[in-house]
Amino acid sequence: MYYETIPSLNDAQKRQQQFRGWSRAKKKAIIKQNFHKLQLLSQCQNMSHSKYKDFDSAQSSSSPQQSSVAKSPSAPLRVGILGGGQLGRMLLQAAANYVVETFVLENDEHCPAAHLCHHFIKGDIKDFETVYNFGKNLDAVTIEIEAVNIEALEKLESEGLKVYPKPSAIKTIKNKIRQKEFYASNQIPSPEFIITENIEALKKNAGFLPAVHKIGEGGYDGKGVQVLRDESKIAKAFDAPSVLEKMVDIQKEIAVIVAMNNKKETAVYPATEMVFNPELNLLDYQISPAELSSTIVEEAKQISLQLVKSFDSPGLFAIEMFVDKNNKVLVNETAPRVHNSGHHTIEANYCSQYDMLWRIMLGYPLGNTEAILPSSIVNLLGEEGYSGPAKYNGLDEVLSMKNIFVHLYGKTQTKPGRKMGHVTIMSADRNDLIEKVNRIKECLKVVS
């Protein structure tokens, strides 16, 4: 169980002596028989009980106190994850191979990662006090989404908590404007851009079109991006600080994942070739390794290494890049975390991206990034026109295929375009990969 179950009010009352020192919120939960709230707040007969008491007390106190409970030198490291989506879920699946105590902070108690962690705390990852109190008694914290409270992470880091990646890297990357300016100041090749504060500023720069408008902060999974081919599309633009990026004549879109540990040692995964759904702007499928010349592959690798070293932070980074029609490699965006473009590494590489991040956080040697076999992944997205309890039509047919690995994220509700899972395919034959990609896309549908 990821939090303690108190089976009945009578049982709880028998343990009254153990409740001395509990916060008012916990006592109210007992009186009102609100056991769900009690479960989220309590870790009785567990060393982490004091941590949760401090966390709860901070909700009604402007000056949270550090726990006085000392951690045993032989106890496993306590690592927290901000966010409980599918990335957190797969990260926790990899954690099962190590001796580590895991904590998840997420607003949705039914999120994909909730049942896989040792301790689940319901809370807002964007709220300063919540994030600070979540992390202050842990050994390390990482993220599975950039939309977190940076100020809390900065304070935690200043108090000695290890944050992967550093808050400075997250702060730079989570804002598209800062991200692009970082590329420019560190000589990282990237598409030409200008900053627009609002639509009026965009109209004054209409001569820069065709371009892609990216909202400065808050975009995720295809949201916050508008393609503006001409002035007639300006009405779709963002009336907020944004990046206007010159449209690239794309030959291929690729991604390179780079790991860097606390010793500044690095490991690079083979480049993957990504194909996007043009309507949803989400990854549709990918093939690894990317079919490119050795010169372009090496250039992409060196650019990625240069970029990650510029962040000066341990962690895992996914660098999405364009290869234009002139074979020029340009950085599109960076993710400071495990990434959709690395899902295939679970089965297809000796060390998965998830295992690699645990190695970094736990202080182990970096893993082997080489591919076992060429691979592909197909994202399972909610079908258009269906919202409600998820059903997977065609799942039996897909599971009967050879060298197929299905990952369903445990989301009970589907809606159009929602990421519900992915399928990894492995084969030495690239044509076989592509054939199976098309078969899976045709037969496996997420409906309601």
Q: Which residues pair with 258 in a beta bridge?
A: 268, 317
In this predicted model, which residue has the larger pLDDT, 250 or 52?
250
Specify the 3-state DSSP secondary structure of 63. coil
Helices 167-174, 150-158: axis angle to 10 degrees equals 160
Q: How far is CA 59 from the centre of its chain?
A: 26
Residue 149 confidence (pLDDT) above 80: yes
- pLDDT computed for residue 18 by the predictor: 52
Of all residues in the chain, the percent with pLDDT exceeding 70 is 82
Euclidean distance between CA atoms 17 and 21, whole angstroms: 9
- pLDDT computed for residue 53 by the predictor: 37
In this structure, the strands spanning 242-246 and 272-277 are unpaired
- pLDDT computed for residue 157 by the predictor: 98
Residue 68 confidence (pLDDT) above 50: no
Place 31 in a pLDDT band, splitting at 50, 70 and 90: low
Residue 423 confidence (pLDDT) above 50: yes
Region 42-54 average pLDDT = 38
Query: The pTM is what?
Result: 0.83
Region 128-136 average pLDDT = 97
Report the range of poorest mean pLDDT among 270-284, 314-328, 351-365: 270-284
Residue 62 confidence (pLDDT) above 50: no
- pLDDT computed for residue 45 by the predictor: 36
pLDDT digits (tens, 9 = 90+) for 161-197: 999 999 999 999 999 999 999 999 999 999 999 999 9
Euclidean distance between CA atoms 158 and 179, whole angstroms: 23
Average pLDDT across the chain, whole number: 87
- pLDDT computed for residue 7 by the predictor: 46
Report the range of poorest mean pLDDT among 258-262, 264-268, 276-280, 369-373: 276-280
Residue 8 confidence (pLDDT) above 80: no
- pLDDT computed for residue 283 by the predictor: 74
- pLDDT computed for residue 87 by the predictor: 98
pLDDT digits (tens, 9 = 90+) for 192-217: 999 999 999 999 999 999 999 999 98
- pLDDT computed for residue 69 by the predictor: 43
Full set of structural domains in the chain with CATH: 9-164 (3.40.50.20), 192-246 (3.30.1490.20), 250-447 (3.30.470.20)
- Asked if 377 and 290 count as a contact pair (C-beta separation under 8 A), the reply is no
Residue 296 confidence (pLDDT) above 80: yes
In this predicted model, which residue has the larger pLDDT, 130 or 11?
130
- pLDDT computed for residue 19 by the predictor: 53
- pLDDT computed for residue 28 by the predictor: 58
Residue 44 confidence (pLDDT) above 50: no
Burial 364-389 (b: 16+ CB within 10 A, else e): eebbebebeebbbbbbbbbbeebeee
State the first-to-last Cα distance of the chain, in angstroms, to the nearest integer.
29
* HSE of 147, CA atoms in CB hemisphere, 13 A: 12
- pLDDT computed for residue 75 by the predictor: 83
- pLDDT computed for residue 27 by the predictor: 58
